[in-house]
Chains A and B, each alone.
Chain A
Amino acid sequence: GNSVTQMEGPVTLSEEAFLTINCTYTATGYPSLFWYVQYPGEGLQLLLKATKADDKGSNKGFEATYRKETTSFHLEKGSVQVSDSAVYFCALRGGGGGSQGNLIFGKGTKLSVKP
């Protein structure tokens, strides 16, 4: 079945450091890929997405490229800020309707950015 694997956390960085959070997936067909962010005490929010191979999703300085050849969707940001401290979830949606339309989430990576 479909699955998502993302790097274990927590990740602690200094402000302005470069961020990479690795995400790889297993899926049949052509899934859509997502990164969601959860700030403390809040629900999840969509950060970015990509719906086909070689697409690059971007938002708020974060980027991720859908790499079908390596089945990866790594999240990157060139210069993190304290306000980026949150839990980041990689997610996959398989093609087709019904249950295939459900999102499958990775376990989440907690990021802490120190001033």
Chain B
Amino acid sequence: NAGVTQTPKFQVLKTGQSMTLQCAQDMNHEYMSWYRQDPGMGLRLIHYSVGAGITDQGEVPNGYNVSRSTTEDFPLRLLSAAPSQTSVYFCASTYGENGELFFGEGSRLTVL
């Protein structure tokens, strides 16, 4: 069972570069979300989606874009990377508003 798959696992960027973190799930979950994890900060919600074609902002959306063209995929785009975006990013999905969140293994991003 693949579950939630994130790519890449590691990435180093220079300030100002753009990139996309990929997230795919094979559980037919309607709800998907992106979190970032920083030391001493726990996990903070960046963006989320309750279904294909529907996205909304979380707690820390600035500097990130998302789209949801299919149920399976929920990519996170960094338009112009900044050192403050150095973090570990987690994608998660669930089958409903009360369901268990299933997490990917994370993507560690370093912005120089």
Contact = CB atoms under 8 A, between A and B. Distances in A.
B100 A105 contact: no
B50 interface: yes
Interface stretch (A11-19, A43-51, A60-68, A69-77): A43-51
Q: Tell me whether chain A's interface is mostly helix, strand or loop, or mixed.
A: mixed
B106 A43 contact: yes
Given A51-B98, A89-B42, A43 B105 contact: yes
Contacts of A32: 98
Contacts of A106: 42
B44 to A, nearest CB: 8
Contact of A97 (B4, B40, B50, B106): B50
Interface residues of B, number: 24
A107 interface: yes
Interface string A3-14: 000000000000
Interface in A69-115: 89, 93, 96-108
A71 to B, nearest CB: 18
Interface in B38-64: 40-45, 48, 50, 56, 58
Interface of B: 4, 31, 33, 35, 40-45, 48, 50, 56, 58, 90, 92, 97-98, 100-101, 103-106
22 contacts: A32-B98, A42-B105, A43-B105, A44-B92, A46-B100, A46-B101, A51-B98, A89-B42, A93-B97, A96-B97, A98-B50, A99-B48, A101-B31, A101-B50, A101-B98, A103-B45, A103-B101, A105-B42, A105-B43, A106-B42, A107-B40, A107-B41
